[in-house]
Protein backbone atom coordinates (compact mmCIF):
# COMPACT_ATOMS: atom_id res chain seq x y z
CA UNK A 1 0.00 0.00 0.00
CA UNK A 2 1.28 3.47 -0.86
CA UNK A 3 2.48 5.32 2.23
CA UNK A 4 0.33 8.32 1.35
CA UNK A 5 -2.77 6.12 1.40
CA UNK A 6 -1.60 4.55 4.65
CA UNK A 7 -1.01 7.99 6.12
CA UNK A 8 -4.48 9.08 5.05
CA UNK A 9 -6.01 6.05 6.74
CA UNK A 10 -4.05 6.72 9.90
CA UNK A 11 -5.24 10.33 9.80
CA UNK A 12 -8.87 9.26 9.38
CA UNK A 13 -8.52 6.76 12.20
CA UNK A 14 -6.94 9.36 14.48
CA UNK A 15 -9.75 11.81 13.66
CA UNK A 16 -12.36 9.14 14.41
CA UNK A 17 -10.72 8.30 17.75
CA UNK A 18 -10.50 11.97 18.67
CA UNK A 19 -14.16 12.48 17.78
CA UNK A 20 -15.13 9.45 19.89
CA UNK A 21 -13.10 10.77 22.81
CA UNK A 22 -14.71 14.19 22.39
CA UNK A 23 -18.15 12.58 22.33
CA UNK A 24 -17.37 10.91 25.64
CA UNK A 25 -16.16 14.26 27.00
CA UNK A 26 -12.72 12.90 27.80
CA UNK A 27 -10.44 15.90 27.99
CA UNK A 28 -6.78 15.92 28.99
CA UNK A 29 -6.11 17.31 32.44
CA UNK A 30 -3.35 19.90 32.20
CA UNK A 31 -0.98 19.75 35.18
CA UNK A 32 2.29 21.44 35.97
CA UNK A 33 4.87 19.30 37.74
CA UNK A 34 4.06 20.93 41.09
CA UNK A 35 0.33 20.31 40.57
CA UNK A 36 1.09 16.69 39.68
CA UNK A 37 3.16 16.34 42.86
CA UNK A 38 0.30 17.69 45.01
CA UNK A 39 -2.13 15.36 43.24
CA UNK A 40 0.16 12.40 43.91
CA UNK A 41 0.39 13.29 47.61
CA UNK A 42 -3.39 13.26 47.82
CA UNK A 43 -4.05 10.20 45.66
CA UNK A 44 -1.28 7.74 46.50
CA UNK A 45 -2.47 4.71 48.44
CA UNK A 46 1.11 3.88 49.42
CA UNK A 47 1.50 7.30 51.05
CA UNK A 48 -1.88 6.92 52.75
CA UNK A 49 -0.69 3.62 54.24
CA UNK A 50 2.58 5.21 55.38
CA UNK A 51 0.67 8.09 56.98
CA UNK A 52 -1.56 5.62 58.83
CA UNK A 53 1.54 3.83 60.10
CA UNK A 54 2.95 7.11 61.45
CA UNK A 55 -0.30 7.97 63.19
CA UNK A 56 -0.41 4.51 64.76
CA UNK A 57 3.14 4.84 66.12
CA UNK A 58 2.34 8.31 67.48
CA UNK A 59 -0.68 6.88 69.32
CA UNK A 60 1.49 4.13 70.81
CA UNK A 61 4.10 6.67 71.91
CA UNK A 62 1.42 8.77 73.59
CA UNK A 63 0.12 5.64 75.28
CA UNK A 64 3.64 4.88 76.56
CA UNK A 65 3.81 8.34 78.13
CA UNK A 66 1.11 7.20 80.57
CA UNK A 67 2.99 4.17 81.88
CA UNK A 68 3.89 5.93 85.16
CA UNK A 69 0.29 6.83 85.93
CA UNK A 70 -1.59 4.70 88.47
CA UNK A 71 -3.73 1.85 87.24
CA UNK A 72 -7.20 1.86 88.80
CA UNK A 73 -9.39 -1.20 88.49
CA UNK A 74 -12.54 -2.68 89.95
CA UNK A 75 -12.75 -6.37 90.70
CA UNK A 76 -16.37 -7.48 91.14
CA UNK A 77 -17.06 -11.07 92.17
CA UNK A 78 -20.39 -12.75 92.77
CA UNK A 79 -19.27 -15.84 94.64
CA UNK A 80 -20.53 -18.70 96.75
CA UNK A 81 -18.32 -19.54 99.70
CA UNK A 82 -18.12 -21.66 102.82
CA UNK A 83 -16.30 -20.58 105.96
CA UNK A 84 -15.61 -22.79 108.99
CA UNK A 85 -14.31 -21.21 112.19
CA UNK A 86 -13.13 -22.84 115.43
CA UNK A 87 -12.97 -20.46 118.44
CA UNK A 88 -11.43 -21.68 121.75
CA UNK A 89 -13.21 -20.20 124.81
CA UNK A 90 -10.18 -20.24 127.05
CA UNK A 91 -10.96 -18.92 130.56
CA UNK A 92 -14.65 -18.67 129.68
CA UNK A 93 -14.92 -22.41 129.16
CA UNK A 94 -16.31 -23.18 132.71
CA UNK A 95 -18.93 -20.47 132.37
CA UNK A 96 -19.91 -21.65 128.91
CA UNK A 97 -20.02 -25.25 130.12
CA UNK A 98 -22.67 -24.26 132.72
CA UNK A 99 -24.88 -23.24 129.81
CA UNK A 100 -24.17 -26.36 127.81
CA UNK A 101 -21.76 -24.66 125.45
CA UNK A 102 -18.75 -26.76 124.60
CA UNK A 103 -15.32 -25.45 123.74
CA UNK A 104 -14.13 -24.68 121.16
CA UNK A 105 -17.03 -22.96 119.48
CA UNK A 106 -17.62 -24.22 115.92
CA UNK A 107 -19.06 -21.90 113.28
CA UNK A 108 -19.79 -22.74 109.66
CA UNK A 109 -21.31 -20.45 107.05
CA UNK A 110 -22.18 -21.03 103.40
CA UNK A 111 -23.60 -18.15 101.37
CA UNK A 112 -23.55 -16.04 98.18
CA UNK A 113 -21.71 -12.72 98.46
CA UNK A 114 -21.03 -9.78 96.16
CA UNK A 115 -17.41 -8.61 96.52
CA UNK A 116 -16.61 -5.36 94.65
CA UNK A 117 -13.03 -4.21 95.37
CA UNK A 118 -11.49 -0.97 94.03
CA UNK A 119 -7.73 -1.36 93.55
CA UNK A 120 -5.07 1.20 92.64
CA UNK A 121 -1.49 0.29 91.72
CA UNK A 122 1.17 2.89 90.81
CA UNK A 123 4.71 1.96 89.75
CA UNK A 124 7.51 3.57 91.74
CA UNK A 125 10.54 1.74 90.34
CA UNK A 126 10.35 -0.57 87.33
CA UNK A 127 14.01 -1.45 87.04
CA UNK A 128 14.23 0.75 83.93
CA UNK A 129 11.47 -0.92 81.90
CA UNK A 130 9.21 2.14 81.72
CA UNK A 131 11.77 4.70 80.46
CA UNK A 132 13.13 2.12 78.01
CA UNK A 133 9.65 1.38 76.68
CA UNK A 134 8.93 5.10 76.30
CA UNK A 135 12.22 5.75 74.49
CA UNK A 136 11.58 2.76 72.20
CA UNK A 137 8.09 4.07 71.38
CA UNK A 138 9.54 7.50 70.47
CA UNK A 139 12.14 5.80 68.26
CA UNK A 140 9.37 3.82 66.57
CA UNK A 141 7.69 7.13 65.65
CA UNK A 142 10.95 8.32 64.07
CA UNK A 143 11.24 5.01 62.22
CA UNK A 144 7.70 5.32 60.84
CA UNK A 145 8.35 8.93 59.85
CA UNK A 146 11.54 7.92 58.01
CA UNK A 147 9.66 5.11 56.26
CA UNK A 148 6.99 7.60 55.23
CA UNK A 149 9.70 9.86 53.80
CA UNK A 150 11.22 6.89 51.98
CA UNK A 151 7.87 6.09 50.39
CA UNK A 152 7.28 9.74 49.54
CA UNK A 153 10.67 10.01 47.83
CA UNK A 154 10.07 6.75 45.96
CA UNK A 155 6.69 7.99 44.72
CA UNK A 156 8.08 11.41 43.78
CA UNK A 157 11.01 9.85 41.92
CA UNK A 158 8.53 7.71 39.99
CA UNK A 159 6.53 10.85 39.19
CA UNK A 160 9.65 12.60 37.83
CA UNK A 161 10.40 9.61 35.59
CA UNK A 162 6.85 9.41 34.25
CA UNK A 163 6.04 13.12 34.05
CA UNK A 164 9.18 14.07 32.18
CA UNK A 165 9.16 10.70 30.43
CA UNK A 166 5.87 11.79 28.86
CA UNK A 167 7.49 15.07 27.85
CA UNK A 168 10.36 13.14 26.28
CA UNK A 169 7.92 10.88 24.44
CA UNK A 170 6.04 13.95 23.19
CA UNK A 171 9.28 15.57 22.01
CA UNK A 172 10.34 12.33 20.27
CA UNK A 173 6.93 12.06 18.62
CA UNK A 174 7.16 15.62 17.30
CA UNK A 175 10.66 15.00 15.96
CA UNK A 176 9.64 11.70 14.34
CA UNK A 177 6.67 13.45 12.75
CA UNK A 178 8.91 16.22 11.41
CA UNK A 179 11.37 13.68 10.04
CA UNK A 180 8.58 11.70 8.39
CA UNK A 181 7.01 14.83 6.90
CA UNK A 182 10.41 16.07 5.74
CA UNK A 183 11.15 12.78 4.03
CA UNK A 184 7.67 12.80 2.47
CA UNK A 185 8.47 16.19 0.95
CA UNK A 186 11.76 14.74 -0.25
CA UNK A 187 9.87 11.82 -1.88
CA UNK A 188 7.61 14.30 -3.63
CA UNK A 189 10.63 16.25 -4.90
CA UNK A 190 12.37 13.07 -6.02
CA UNK A 191 9.22 11.94 -7.83
CA UNK A 192 8.96 15.26 -9.62
CA UNK A 193 12.65 15.26 -10.55
CA UNK A 194 12.36 11.69 -11.85
CA UNK A 195 9.51 12.68 -14.14
CA UNK A 196 11.58 15.61 -15.39
CA UNK A 197 14.59 13.36 -15.94
CA UNK A 198 16.82 14.92 -13.27
CA UNK A 199 16.67 11.99 -10.81
CA UNK A 200 16.76 8.24 -11.16
CA UNK A 201 14.17 5.74 -10.08
CA UNK A 202 16.67 4.33 -7.61
CA UNK A 203 16.94 7.74 -5.94
CA UNK A 204 13.15 7.98 -5.65
CA UNK A 205 13.00 4.47 -4.18
CA UNK A 206 15.72 5.31 -1.71
CA UNK A 207 13.70 8.29 -0.55
CA UNK A 208 10.52 6.14 -0.30
CA UNK A 209 12.30 3.48 1.78
CA UNK A 210 13.64 6.14 4.15
CA UNK A 211 10.16 7.68 4.35
CA UNK A 212 8.63 4.28 5.21
CA UNK A 213 11.21 3.74 7.94
CA UNK A 214 10.42 7.20 9.31
CA UNK A 215 6.73 6.28 9.35
CA UNK A 216 7.50 3.15 11.37
CA UNK A 217 9.58 5.20 13.79
CA UNK A 218 6.71 7.65 14.10
CA UNK A 219 4.18 4.89 14.85
CA UNK A 220 6.54 3.45 17.45
CA UNK A 221 6.78 6.89 19.05
CA UNK A 222 2.96 7.10 19.12
CA UNK A 223 2.74 3.87 21.12
CA UNK A 224 5.57 4.95 23.42
CA UNK A 225 3.68 8.14 24.23
CA UNK A 226 0.44 6.23 24.79
CA UNK A 227 2.17 3.81 27.18
CA UNK A 228 3.84 6.47 29.31
CA UNK A 229 0.68 8.60 29.31
CA UNK A 230 -1.41 5.71 30.63
CA UNK A 231 1.22 5.01 33.30
CA UNK A 232 1.23 8.63 34.45
CA UNK A 233 -2.56 8.78 34.61
CA UNK A 234 -2.62 5.56 36.64
CA UNK A 235 0.04 6.86 39.02
CA UNK A 236 -2.07 9.96 39.69
CA UNK A 237 -5.29 7.89 39.88
CA UNK A 238 -6.76 10.00 37.08
CA UNK A 239 -9.48 8.79 34.75
CA UNK A 240 -8.46 11.56 32.35
CA UNK A 241 -5.22 11.63 30.36
CA UNK A 242 -2.65 14.03 31.82
CA UNK A 243 -1.31 16.91 29.75
CA UNK A 244 2.17 17.74 31.07
CA UNK A 245 2.86 21.47 30.78
CA UNK A 246 6.20 21.77 32.60
CA UNK A 247 8.86 21.29 29.90
CA UNK A 248 12.07 19.31 30.06
CA UNK A 249 14.70 21.51 31.66
CA UNK A 250 18.39 21.82 32.39
CA UNK A 251 20.33 24.08 34.75
CA UNK A 252 23.46 25.04 32.88
CA UNK A 253 25.43 25.72 36.09
CA UNK A 254 26.96 22.97 38.22
CA UNK A 255 24.74 21.85 41.15
CA UNK A 256 27.52 22.58 43.64
CA UNK A 257 30.27 20.63 45.42
CA UNK A 258 29.89 16.87 45.72
CA UNK A 259 30.75 17.03 49.43
CA UNK A 260 27.65 19.13 50.11
CA UNK A 261 25.40 16.36 48.85
CA UNK A 262 27.39 13.70 50.71
CA UNK A 263 27.04 15.54 54.00
CA UNK A 264 23.32 16.08 53.42
CA UNK A 265 22.85 12.40 52.56
CA UNK A 266 24.53 11.15 55.74
CA UNK A 267 22.43 13.55 57.78
CA UNK A 268 19.04 13.45 56.06
CA UNK A 269 18.59 10.30 54.01
CA UNK A 270 15.42 8.54 55.24
CA UNK A 271 17.03 5.09 55.15
CA UNK A 272 19.81 6.23 57.48
CA UNK A 273 17.25 7.87 59.78
CA UNK A 274 15.19 4.68 59.72
CA UNK A 275 18.17 2.51 60.66
CA UNK A 276 19.18 4.96 63.38
CA UNK A 277 15.69 4.64 64.85
CA UNK A 278 15.90 0.86 64.63
CA UNK A 279 19.25 0.99 66.43
CA UNK A 280 17.72 3.09 69.20
CA UNK A 281 14.86 0.61 69.59
CA UNK A 282 17.33 -2.27 69.76
CA UNK A 283 19.33 -0.44 72.42
CA UNK A 284 16.20 0.17 74.49
CA UNK A 285 15.28 -3.49 73.99
CA UNK A 286 18.51 -4.47 75.76
CA UNK A 287 17.58 -2.17 78.65
CA UNK A 288 14.11 -3.73 78.90
CA UNK A 289 15.55 -7.24 79.13
CA UNK A 290 18.12 -6.13 81.70
CA UNK A 291 15.37 -4.46 83.75
CA UNK A 292 13.61 -7.81 84.13
CA UNK A 293 16.51 -8.94 86.38
CA UNK A 294 15.81 -6.12 88.83
CA UNK A 295 13.12 -5.82 91.50
CA UNK A 296 10.03 -3.68 90.97
CA UNK A 297 8.62 -1.33 93.58
CA UNK A 298 5.02 -0.13 93.55
CA UNK A 299 2.41 1.60 95.68
CA UNK A 300 -1.05 0.12 96.04
CA UNK A 301 -4.41 0.84 97.62
CA UNK A 302 -7.67 -1.09 98.01
CA UNK A 303 -11.16 -0.09 99.03
CA UNK A 304 -14.15 -2.36 99.72
CA UNK A 305 -17.16 -0.93 97.92
CA UNK A 306 -19.64 -3.19 99.71
CA UNK A 307 -18.45 -3.58 103.30
CA UNK A 308 -21.85 -4.78 104.56
CA UNK A 309 -21.33 -8.00 102.68
CA UNK A 310 -17.65 -8.39 103.59
CA UNK A 311 -16.08 -11.50 105.01
CA UNK A 312 -14.58 -11.31 108.43
CA UNK A 313 -11.10 -11.58 106.96
CA UNK A 314 -11.66 -8.77 104.41
CA UNK A 315 -10.34 -5.29 105.17
CA UNK A 316 -12.44 -2.19 104.64
CA UNK A 317 -9.49 -0.50 102.99
CA UNK A 318 -5.74 -0.90 102.70
CA UNK A 319 -2.75 0.88 101.20
CA UNK A 320 0.99 0.38 101.19
CA UNK A 321 4.13 -0.33 99.21
CA UNK A 322 4.91 -3.61 97.48
CA UNK A 323 8.12 -5.22 96.20
CA UNK A 324 8.11 -7.81 93.44
CA UNK A 325 11.16 -9.80 92.40
CA UNK A 326 11.38 -12.95 90.29
CA UNK A 327 14.14 -15.29 91.46
CA UNK A 328 13.56 -17.70 88.61
CA UNK A 329 11.78 -17.39 85.28
CA UNK A 330 11.25 -19.95 82.55
CA UNK A 331 11.80 -17.21 79.94
CA UNK A 332 15.61 -17.56 80.40
CA UNK A 333 16.26 -13.85 80.92
CA UNK A 334 20.06 -13.96 80.31
CA UNK A 335 19.48 -15.46 76.88
CA UNK A 336 16.92 -12.81 76.08
CA UNK A 337 19.48 -10.13 76.98
CA UNK A 338 22.01 -11.80 74.68
CA UNK A 339 19.46 -11.92 71.84
CA UNK A 340 18.64 -8.25 72.32
CA UNK A 341 22.33 -7.35 72.14
CA UNK A 342 22.72 -9.30 68.89
CA UNK A 343 19.77 -7.39 67.48
CA UNK A 344 21.44 -4.14 68.50
CA UNK A 345 24.70 -5.23 66.83
CA UNK A 346 22.78 -6.08 63.67
CA UNK A 347 21.17 -2.63 63.59
CA UNK A 348 24.53 -0.90 64.09
CA UNK A 349 26.15 -2.93 61.30
CA UNK A 350 23.23 -2.20 58.98
CA UNK A 351 23.57 1.51 59.68
CA UNK A 352 27.28 1.51 58.85
CA UNK A 353 26.61 -0.37 55.61
CA UNK A 354 23.81 2.03 54.67
CA UNK A 355 26.09 5.03 55.18
CA UNK A 356 28.68 3.45 52.90
CA UNK A 357 26.10 2.65 50.21
CA UNK A 358 24.60 6.13 50.39
CA UNK A 359 28.04 7.70 49.96
CA UNK A 360 28.64 5.55 46.87
CA UNK A 361 25.17 6.38 45.55
CA UNK A 362 25.69 10.13 45.94
CA UNK A 363 28.91 9.99 43.91
CA UNK A 364 27.24 7.95 41.16
CA UNK A 365 24.16 10.22 41.00
CA UNK A 366 26.30 13.38 41.00
CA UNK A 367 28.45 12.15 38.12
CA UNK A 368 25.37 11.07 36.14
CA UNK A 369 23.91 14.53 36.59
CA UNK A 370 27.07 16.27 35.48
CA UNK A 371 27.38 13.96 32.47
CA UNK A 372 23.82 14.70 31.35
CA UNK A 373 24.27 18.44 31.88
CA UNK A 374 27.43 18.66 29.80
CA UNK A 375 26.01 16.39 27.11
CA UNK A 376 22.98 18.61 26.75
CA UNK A 377 25.04 21.80 26.50
CA UNK A 378 27.34 20.28 23.88
CA UNK A 379 24.43 19.28 21.64
CA UNK A 380 23.50 22.87 20.74
CA UNK A 381 26.28 23.10 18.17
CA UNK A 382 25.38 19.66 16.76
CA UNK A 383 21.77 20.70 16.21
CA UNK A 384 22.80 23.97 14.59
CA UNK A 385 25.17 22.12 12.25
CA UNK A 386 22.58 19.44 11.42
CA UNK A 387 19.94 22.07 10.64
CA UNK A 388 22.25 24.01 8.33
CA UNK A 389 23.46 20.79 6.66
CA UNK A 390 19.87 19.70 5.95
CA UNK A 391 19.03 23.06 4.42
CA UNK A 392 22.07 22.94 2.15
CA UNK A 393 21.53 19.30 1.12
CA UNK A 394 17.92 19.99 0.15
CA UNK A 395 19.01 22.96 -1.98
CA UNK A 396 21.82 20.96 -3.56
CA UNK A 397 19.49 18.06 -4.37
CA UNK A 398 17.12 20.39 -6.22
CA UNK A 399 20.10 21.55 -8.25
CA UNK A 400 21.17 17.96 -8.94
CA UNK A 401 24.47 18.37 -7.10
CA UNK A 402 23.92 15.65 -4.44
CA UNK A 403 22.10 12.34 -4.31
CA UNK A 404 18.92 11.41 -2.51
CA UNK A 405 20.94 9.57 0.12
CA UNK A 406 22.68 12.80 1.08
CA UNK A 407 19.36 14.48 1.86
CA UNK A 408 18.09 11.43 3.73
CA UNK A 409 21.23 11.28 5.85
CA UNK A 410 20.97 14.99 6.64
CA UNK A 411 17.30 14.62 7.60
CA UNK A 412 18.03 11.66 9.86
CA UNK A 413 20.99 13.41 11.47
CA UNK A 414 18.79 16.38 12.24
CA UNK A 415 16.09 14.21 13.78
CA UNK A 416 18.64 12.17 15.70
CA UNK A 417 20.25 15.29 17.16
CA UNK A 418 16.87 16.66 18.27
CA UNK A 419 15.92 13.38 19.95
CA UNK A 420 19.35 13.09 21.54
CA UNK A 421 19.03 16.56 23.05
CA UNK A 422 15.58 15.72 24.45
CA UNK A 423 16.98 12.49 25.88
CA UNK A 424 19.87 14.39 27.47
CA UNK A 425 17.41 16.81 29.10
CA UNK A 426 15.32 13.90 30.37
CA UNK A 427 18.41 12.17 31.72
CA UNK A 428 19.35 15.39 33.48
CA UNK A 429 15.91 15.75 35.08
CA UNK A 430 15.91 12.15 36.29
CA UNK A 431 19.56 12.31 37.44
CA UNK A 432 18.77 15.46 39.42
CA UNK A 433 15.88 13.64 41.10
CA UNK A 434 18.18 10.69 41.92
CA UNK A 435 20.82 12.99 43.40
CA UNK A 436 18.29 14.83 45.55
CA UNK A 437 16.67 11.54 46.56
CA UNK A 438 19.92 9.89 47.66
CA UNK A 439 20.87 13.02 49.61
CA UNK A 440 17.45 13.22 51.28
CA UNK A 441 16.48 16.46 49.55
CA UNK A 442 13.98 15.41 46.89
CA UNK A 443 11.46 17.82 48.41
CA UNK A 444 13.66 20.60 46.96
CA UNK A 445 13.16 19.42 43.36
CA UNK A 446 10.68 22.19 42.60
CA UNK A 447 13.19 24.81 43.75
CA UNK A 448 15.80 23.44 41.35
CA UNK A 449 13.20 23.42 38.58
CA UNK A 450 12.65 27.16 39.09
CA UNK A 451 16.39 27.75 38.52
CA UNK A 452 16.28 26.17 35.05
CA UNK A 453 17.73 28.39 32.35
CA UNK A 454 17.43 25.84 29.53
CA UNK A 455 14.01 24.45 28.58
CA UNK A 456 12.81 22.51 25.58
CA UNK A 457 9.76 24.25 24.12
CA UNK A 458 6.85 21.95 23.40
When the pLDDT of each residue in the chain is averaged and rounded to a whole number, the result is 84
Per-residue pLDDT reduced to its tens digit, 381-408: 676 677 776 677 667 767 666 655 666 6
DSSP letter (8 states) at residue 443: G
pLDDT at 228 over 70: yes
Q: How would residue 22 be classed by pLDDT, with cut points 50, 70 and 90?
A: very low
Rounded to whole angstroms, how far apart are CA atoms 150 and 46?
A: 11
Domain ranges of the chain: 29-66+126-292+334-455, 71-84+113-124+294-328
Average pLDDT over residues 257-275: 93
Higher pLDDT, 78 or 430: 430
Cα distance from N-terminal residue to C-terminal residue, the chain: 33
Q: Which of 401, 426, 408 is nearest to 206 (CA)?
A: 408
pLDDT at 8 over 50: no
Omega within 30 of 0 (cis) for the link into 104: yes
Per-residue pLDDT reduced to its tens digit, 158-207: 999 999 999 999 988 988 888 788 778 778 877 887 787 767 788 778 87
Rounded to whole angstroms, how far apart are CA atoms 424 and 49?
A: 35
Per-residue pLDDT reduced to its tens digit, 113-166: 788 889 999 999 888 889 999 999 999 999 999 999 999 999 999 999 999 999
Rounded to whole angstroms, how far apart are CA atoms 444 and 449?
A: 9
Residues 57-86 as b or e (16 or more Cβ within 10 Å = b) = bbebbeebeeeeeeeeeeeeeeeeeeeeee
Rounded to whole angstroms, how far apart are CA atoms 303 and 315?
A: 8
pLDDT at 443 over 60: yes
Q: Which of 428, 180, 139 is nearest to 275 (CA)?
A: 139
φ, ψ dihedrals at 28, nearest 5° = -60, 145
pLDDT at 23 over 80: no
Rounded to whole angstroms, how far apart are CA atoms 117 and 79?
A: 13
Taking CA atoms, 252 is separated from 205, 233, 432, 433, 452, in Å, by: 44, 31, 13, 16, 8
pLDDT of residue 381: 67
Residues written for the chain: 458
Asked if residues 172 and 218 have their Cβ atoms less than 8 Å apart, the reply is no
In this structure, of 38-42, 108-112, 170-174, 283-287, the range with the lowest mean pLDDT score is 108-112
Rounded to whole angstroms, how far apart are CA atoms 50 and 148?
A: 5
pLDDT at 369 over 90: yes
CATH says 29-66+126-292+334-455 is which class? mainly alpha
Average pLDDT over residues 437-445: 92
Helices 129-196/33-43 angle, 10° precision: 130
> Which is it for strands 242-244 and 29-31: parallel, antiparallel or unpaired?
parallel
Asked if residues 168 and 309 have their Cβ atoms less than 8 Å apart, the reply is no
pLDDT at 233 over 90: yes
Half-sphere exposure (CA, 13 Å, Cβ side) for 384? 5
Asked if residues 149 and 226 have their Cβ atoms less than 8 Å apart, the reply is no
Higher pLDDT, 384 or 221: 221
**% of the chain with per-residue pLDDT over 70:** 87
List the beta bridge partners of residue 31.
Answer: 244
pLDDT of residue 193: 72
Of all helices (H) and strands (E), which one includes residue 81?
strand 71-87
Average pLDDT over residues 338-361: 91
In this structure, of 62-66, 233-237, 415-419, the range with the lowest mean pLDDT score is 415-419
Amino acid sequence: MDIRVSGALVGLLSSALWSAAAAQEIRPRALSFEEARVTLEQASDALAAADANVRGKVDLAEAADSLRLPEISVDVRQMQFQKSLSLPLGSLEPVAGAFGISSPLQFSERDWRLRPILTTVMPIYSGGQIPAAQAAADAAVRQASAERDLESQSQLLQLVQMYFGQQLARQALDVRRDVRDGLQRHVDHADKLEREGFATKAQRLQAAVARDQAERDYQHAVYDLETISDSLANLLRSEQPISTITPLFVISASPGPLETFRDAALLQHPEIRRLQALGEQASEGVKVQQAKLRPQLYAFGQYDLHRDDALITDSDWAFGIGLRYSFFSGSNRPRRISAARHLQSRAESGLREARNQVTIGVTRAYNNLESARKQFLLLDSSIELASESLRLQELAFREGQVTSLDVIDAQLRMGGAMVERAQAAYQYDVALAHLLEISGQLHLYQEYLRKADKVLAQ
